[in-house]
Amino acid sequence: MRVVLAEDLFLLRDGLVRLLEAYDFEIAAAVESGPELERALAELEPDVAVVDVRLPPTHTDEGLQCALRARRERPGMPVLVLSQHVEQLYARELLADGRGGVGYLLKDRVFDAEQFVDAVRRVAAGGTAMDPQVIQQLLARGGGADRPLDRLTPREREVLELMAQGRSNAAIAGKLVVTERAIAKHTANIFTKLGLEVSDDDNRRVLAVLAHLDQDR
């Protein structure tokens, strides 16, 4: 699997290269600026891009904007964005086209190698990988004033949080140490209470849940 990596800090970039290569990814390019990233994405057409939000020359959201432009040129191109802090705007921009193959993680997740690599693979496969802290903020903002989220049981909220991160029923069942049948029942209840159409497609249901959680932005 070919990866284009964009990170301006040398030590972190070098560490990410070594980590991904250790898990059998091929690093097609490892760059440090927005213009370099733009060229690499256009010329190399990687299987997935792992991109720091803030890159030279602007050090604002250069990396994110390069990735979004590349996705407009090549719809659905998988992009996993890394950020130092939770910025819901970044998540919204990534999800705006309603397609899969997107992820948004805090850089802290990089230090959990298996979690990070799982996110890269999930995004490359067309799935969605959202940082738990982003989901927690959306959930915290979504309650009150007779909101649908208030109708969920504590267990259903746990399942919803894991679902919104991009996890399958099997992965959620493993995390919560219950059966897949129990999780399927919880997810059906969640969709009913939130007024969403039930879907067996993992990515479609993630996008539906995130859109619902973010509808009052």
**CATH assignment of the domain containing 194:** 1.10.10.10
- Domain count for the chain, please give it: 2
pLDDT in the model for residue 141? 67
Q: Are residues 190 and 150 in the same domain?
A: yes
Q: Which two tokens stand for residue 78?
A: 């998988």
Residue among 149, 56, 166 at smallest CA distance from 105: 166
Looking at the predicted structure, is the pLDDT value of residue 108 above 80? Answer: yes
Contact status, residue 53 vs residue 82, Cβ threshold 8 Å: yes
The whole model's pTM is what? 0.85
- Which domain-ending residue is among 83, 102, 130? 130
Residue 180's pLDDT band, with cuts at 50, 70 and 90, is very high
Q: Are residues 111 and 35 in the same domain?
A: yes
pLDDT in the model for residue 144? 55
pLDDT in the model for residue 10? 96
Range of the domain at 71: 2-130
- Using CA atoms, how far apart are residues 217 and 215, in angstroms rounded to an integer? 6
**Distance in Å from the first CA to the final CA of the chain:** 36
Q: Are residues 16 and 37 in the same domain?
A: yes
Place of tokens 């649908």: 148
Assign 33 to helix, strand or coil: coil
Calculate what percentage of the chain has a pLDDT beyond 70.
Answer: 96
Of 11 and 90, more confident: 11
- Which domain-ending residue is among 91, 111, 130? 130
CATH number at residue 41: 3.40.50.2300
H or E segment at 119?
helix 113-124
- Using CA atoms, how far apart are residues 95 and 116, in angstroms rounded to an integer? 19
Q: Are residues 192 and 113 in the same domain?
A: no
Looking at the predicted structure, is the pLDDT value of residue 21 above 90? Answer: yes
Looking at the predicted structure, is the pLDDT value of residue 168 above 60? Answer: yes
pLDDT in the model for residue 142? 58
- Using CA atoms, how far apart are residues 163 and 160, in angstroms rounded to an integer? 5
